[in-house]
Amino acid sequence: MSAVHQFSLAVQNTAYFTALRESALAYPIILASHLATIAVFGGLILMTDLRLLGLAMTKIPASQVIARTRPFKHAGLLIMVTLGIHLGGSKLADYYDNPYFLMKMSLLLLVFVHAMVFRRSVYRNPAAVDAPGGPPRAAKAAACLSLALWIGILSCGRWIAYYDRPEGQQARANQIARQR
Amino acid sequence: MLQFRYDPATNPLNNNEWSFPLFECIHIAMFAMSVGTIAIVDFRLLGLLFRKQSPAEVLKATSLWTLIGLIVVITSGMVIFTTDPLSYYYNWSFRYKMIALVAAIVFNYTIHRKVAMSNCTAAVNAAVGAVSLLLWISIVFAGIFYAFVEELPYVGGPPV
């Protein structure tokens, strides 16, 4: 049994995550809240990207769209990640080697890289994004990458549920889980 | 009485591994767009976001994207429904979702729109924004809850 597997099992077998996984109500509520957060806060990311591409909200200066929506996006991300940790933690032994889960985590990491890379040139640069000719090329690149990252994260998130571990591995994992 | 036979096993979405999750992804992305843009208007009505713009300006800036999102989310939802119509129909969470969806769309294009377009008091704005936000969130919840609730009894026995 690999150390990662052992660790994942230890995490999901903590009293807190076990109770959550086995709860008929708490688990679906957290899952539904995770999705509701996408619904309520996802639109802010989308509209910011579309604004930088010059496709939506063009009457509101791009710098204002970025600055005004920022605290909401931060709050949304915080809620989303908190709920996600609950979902992932309670089934970590099933997820740690799931390629879609790993891809989703990698893409989330890239979201932070993206924010850092475009911080100075786009997201904290009102003069550039409000230029009379429309947002610069860097802003459009940032918007396209942001859209691609978030669509990727959403899709990987959905596909986590459709991955089956190869048979032998699954049987072994089940056996280990039973022995615990 | 009109009757027709439909076997979900013949549905392409039930016969490969990728198309069902693909439609789910489209469905999720598009409810993010439709509900997300409505939520922006709701945040404005609640006085939380874009306070320099009027609710009418925020509504005009988002309404096209809301409409596109609603059309695609409903279409993809209908495609997903065809994979197992009976089990959706005999699910109280699905029934709530359909009723709430009709109510939310009517609300969105009548009261919500009217209030956003006119100069109502802050209290009226906030009430309408809150109702809209809660109604749409409840629809997302109902969508997740189908998988976790027991099926309703088939009235008059399951169709053969």
Measured between beta carbons, the chain B residues lying within 8 angstroms of A31 are 144
Residue bearing tokens 């048979």 = A167
Work out the angle at residue A174's Cα, subtended by the Cα atoms of residues A170 and A176, and round it to the nearest 5 degrees: 115
**Distances in Å between the alpha carbon of B9 and those of A120, B56, B79, B83?**
54, 48, 14, 8
Residue-level pLDDT at B57: 96
As for the ipTM of the complex, it is: 0.90
Mean predicted confidence (pLDDT) in B19-23 = 96
Question: pLDDT band for position A170 (50/70/90)?
Answer: low
CB pairs under 8 A between A and B: 103
| CA dist., res. A105 & res. A149, Å (int) | 11
Closest chain B residue by Cα to residue A157? B25
Closest chain B residue by Cα to residue A32? B141
CA contacts within 13 A on the Cβ side of A139: 25
Q: Does B67 touch chain A (CB under 8 A)?
A: no
Q: Burial, B56: exposed, middle or buried (Cβ in 10 Å; 0-12, 13-18, 19+)?
A: middle
CB contact under 8 A, B37 and A47: yes
Residue-level pLDDT at B152: 80
CB contact under 8 A, B39 and A162: no
| CA dist., res. B12 & res. A7, Å (int) | 40
Q: Does B104 touch chain A (CB under 8 A)?
A: no
Q: Taking a C-beta distance cutoff of 8 angstroms, is the pair A32, B141 a contact?
A: yes
pLDDT tens, residue by residue, A119-148: 999 999 999 999 998 999 999 999 999 999
The amino acid that residue B100 corresponds to is A
| CA dist., res. B101 & res. A25, Å (int) | 23
pLDDT tens, residue by residue, A52-83: 999 999 999 999 999 999 999 999 999 999 99
Mean predicted confidence (pLDDT) in B10-16 = 91
Does residue B157 surpass a pLDDT of 60? no
Question: pLDDT band for position A168 (50/70/90)?
Answer: low
Q: Taking a C-beta distance cutoff of 8 angstroms, is the pair B39, A39 a contact?
A: yes
Residue-level pLDDT at A160: 96
Structure tokens at B141: 């919840």
**Distances in Å between the alpha carbon of B115 and those of B59, B132, B135?**
10, 12, 17
| CA dist., res. B120 & res. B122, Å (int) | 7
Does residue B1 surpass a pLDDT of 70? no
Question: How does DSSP classify residue B8?
Answer: G
CB contact under 8 A, A43 and B40: yes
What is the model's pTM? 0.91
| CA dist., res. A47 & res. A30, Å (int) | 26
CA contacts within 13 A on the Cβ side of B156: 2
Question: Which of A36, A64, A154 is nearest residue B141 as measured by Cβ atoms?
Answer: A36
Residue-level pLDDT at A165: 84
CA distance B5 to chain A (A): 29
Q: Taking a C-beta distance cutoff of 8 angstroms, is the pair A116, A142 a contact?
A: no
Which has more pLDDT, A113 or B151? Answer: A113
**Distances in Å between the alpha carbon of B89 and those of B93, B98, B154?**
9, 10, 9
Which helix or strand (DSSP H or E) is residue B92 part of? helix B92-107
Residue-level pLDDT at A53: 96
Beta-carbon neighbour count of residue A40 at 10 Å?
26
Question: How does DSSP classify residue B14?
Answer: G
Q: Does A164 touch chain B (CB under 8 A)?
A: no
Structure tokens at B107: 């609300």
Mean predicted confidence (pLDDT) in A86-90 = 97
Does residue B159 surpass a pLDDT of 90? no
Q: Does A44 touch chain B (CB under 8 A)?
A: yes
Measured between beta carbons, the chain A residues lying within 8 angstroms of B36 are 38-44, 46-47
pLDDT tens, residue by residue, A10-27: 999 999 999 999 998 999
φ, ψ (nearest 5 deg) of residue B13: -65, -20
Q: Does A32 touch chain B (CB under 8 A)?
A: yes
Q: Where are the alpha helices (DSSP H) in chain A?
A: 3-12, 15-22, 26-52, 62-90, 92-95, 99-117, 126-129, 137-159, 167-179
